[in-house]
Amino acid sequence: MRWAFTMLKAVGPIRRIPRISNFLTACAISNFHNTKIVAFGSTCRVDNPPEDDPTLTTLLKAGTEAITLFGKSWTLHVTDVLRATLEENLQIIEDSCAWLKENGREVIYDAEHFFDGYKADPEYALETLLAAQAGGAEVLVLCDTNGGTMPYQIQEIISAIQPRLDVPLGIHTHNDAGMAVANSIVALEMGATHVQGTINGYGERCGNANLCSVIPNIEFKLGKTAIGAENLKRLMELSRFVSEIANVYHDHRQPYVGESAFAHKAGVHVDAMLKQPATYEHCDAEAVGNQRRFLLSEQSGGGAVAAKLHHLIPGLDKRHPTVQKLLQKIKQLEHEGYVFEAAEASFEILARQILGSIRRPFKLINYRTINRKSVAGSEVEAIVKIEIDGQIYHTVGEGDGPVNALDSALRLALESVYPTLKDVRLEDYKVRVLSSADGTAAKVRVLVESSDRQRVWNTVGVSENIIEASWMALVDSLTYKLLLDDIIVVG
């Protein structure tokens, strides 16, 4: 199986060379074990012989072992976009592939709009592939560029062309009809041996085939080896890493690698899962580096609560009075607007309070926020007074807003006693109005996501006062970090 995880898609005129070659020089001296960097660009222009074409010469100068060339398969694109004749397009495909081959490169040919082209004129679309094959392309990648092809059409078209080609096929799909992964899998099932996609499916419009789904599907559903069991265990870590680098919120609902992929909420599901894990899961969470989670909510039963407490009290019976007490408390708080399924850290703190296995890190005496707005701009300040082990801390913090200022003031006091709190980052802050009919007097729910770069956790606060709700979620977040670090655990 060949992989095209990421492609260098910006190869263009000469003026781009320095930036690209810096990147490629860095790649060339990196010691990749499983990765091959591939330069990417189009066939030459009709008016240019390959050796004078700025795109092709730049691709060659990139110095990569392999080059992906894309060319037109659809008559509409040839006539209306390239503004060339159908024969000229066949010629530039063959000549471009052949010239790169003559210059010692491995050539991957991406047949742009192949499926739409085939629907419009099957014979011509096939001829474009034959031209690339004649030019020496090592693999012919069929692209569903507009993302509108259905899996059964992929199957029909591949069956029709396969007998007429001699080189291996690849697949490149987009997700405009929500079929990118399905279409890739169909093509692979039919014998394609090269798949192009992106981590988390990031890409133009609705995205590309999500390799975080394609890869485990190959391993678990097609029964073939893609990256192997050991690498597969790091898939979720990779998915999170790429979203972090891209500065895009990690999608909890992603198959296999989303935080919710193995999260169970309904009491009936949780009860069955505890009896037999195969009842509500199609594969093993740990095989892709994920983990099973039981979410607590007003839909929970005792089984879910007991399972949640397993790491604190192994073997706890779901009918135990503590379980029932906690269950009642959760239902009452959820009725007031809390959501523990999205705030597991707050649940753990609540459970430990009921079990008496937590020491609160500080006692609040009071806090206050001051918002000063003038023509010169706005200033926000928070003053916090707390007690830690009998000692009073009185601190002032400034911020962009009252919550930010409160966070600064609280940390100023706490970090001198609990230095690991310096590692806590607020990743996300969400506010939801719970009873909009009450206008500005409505209750709000604040959800905070925090991390210490190794772990991520979520906390919740609910109040009629947005600052109060934020304070609650903030305090739970810092408290949970101290729990994770074993600093305030009791017993």
Ligand X SMILES: CC(=O)SCCNC(=O)CCNC(=O)[C@H](O)C(C)(C)COP(=O)(O)OP(=O)(O)OC[C@H]1O[C@@H](n2cnc3c(N)ncnc32)[C@H](O)[C@@H]1OP(=O)(O)O
Write out the residues near ligand X by the rule CB under 6 A. Answer: 9-10, 12-13, 42-43, 45, 70-72, 81-82, 112, 145
Say if residues 427 and 439 touch (Cβ distance below 8 Å).
Answer: no
What does 369 bind: ligand X, ligand KIV, none (CB cut-off 5 to 8 Å by kind)? none
Find the helix or strand (DSSP H, E) in which 356 lies.
Answer: none
**Is there binding between residue 184 and ligand KIV (CB under 6 A)?**
no
**Using rule CB under 6 A, residue 3 touches ligand KIV:** no
Q: Is 110 in the site for ligand KIV (CB under 6 A)?
A: yes
Q: C-beta of 289: minimal distance to ligand X in Å?
A: 31
Least separation, in Å, of the C-beta of 16 and ligand X? 7
Q: Is 475 helix (H, G, I), strand (E, B) or coil?
A: helix
194 lies in the binding site for ligand KIV (CB under 6 A): no
Answer for which of 108, 142, 143, 473 binds ligand KIV (CB under 6 A) is: 143
What the block records as the tokens of 23 is 């990147």
12 binds, among ligand X, ligand KIV, none (CB under 5 to 8 A by kind): ligand X
Among 45, 105, 172, 318, binds ligand KIV (CB under 6 A): 172
Cα 110 from chain centroid? 26
User: Closest Cα partner for 75 from 17, 125, 41, 25?
Assistant: 125
Output 84 or 226, the one with its CB closest to ligand X. Answer: 84
Residue 341 binding ligand KIV, by CB under 6 A: no
User: How near is the Cβ of 9 to ligand KIV at its closest, in Å?
Assistant: 7
CA distances from 182 to 189, 210, 392 (A): 10, 10, 61
Query: Among 55, 96, 145, 217, which residue interacts with ligand KIV (rule: CB under 6 A)?
Result: 145
Contact assessment for residue 386 and residue 410, using Cβ atoms and an 8 Å cutoff = yes
Is residue 264 close enough to count as binding ligand KIV by CB under 6 A? no
DSSP secondary structure of 190-248? TT--EEE-BGGG--STT-B-BHHHHHHIIIIIS---SSHHHHHTTHHHHHHHHHHHHT-
Contact (Cβ atoms closer than 8 angstroms) between residue 179 and residue 151: yes
Shortest approach of ligand KIV to residue 112 CB, angstroms? 4
Going by C-alpha positions, the residue among 350, 353, 349, 387 that lies closest to residue 367 is 387
- Nearer to ligand X by Cβ, of 13 and 122: the residue is 13
Closer residue to ligand X (CB): 9 or 221:
9
User: Quick one: which of 385, 390, 383 has its CA closest to 369?
Assistant: 383
**Contact yes or no for 263/257 (Cβ under 8 A):** no
| Closest CB 43 distance from ligand KIV, rounded Å | 11
Q: In DSSP terms, which residues pair with 67 in a beta bridge? A: 39, 107
Look at residue 334 and give the partner it binds from ligand X, ligand KIV, none, a contact being a CB closer than 5 to 8 Å depending on partner kind. Answer: none
Q: From CA 269, how far away is CA 301, in angstroms rounded?
A: 10
Among 53, 94, 112, 271, binds ligand KIV (CB under 6 A): 112
Long-range contact pairs involving 373-382 (C-beta distance under 8 Å, separation at least 24): 380/404, 380/405, 381/405, 382/406, 382/408, 382/409
Which of 292, 300, 305, 293 minimizes the C-alpha distance to 334? 300
Query: Which of residues 72, 77, 105, 174 is near ligand KIV by CB under 6 A?
Result: 174
Interaction mask 46-85, ligand KIV, x per CB under 6 A: ------------------------x---------------
Position closest to ligand X via CB = 12
The pair of structure tokens assigned to 12 is 């263009």
Nearer to ligand KIV, 95 or 110 (CB): 110
- Chosen from ligand KIV, ligand X, none, partner binding at 259 (C-beta under 5 to 8 Å by type): none
Interface positions with ligand KIV (CB under 6 A): 70, 110, 112, 143, 145, 172, 174
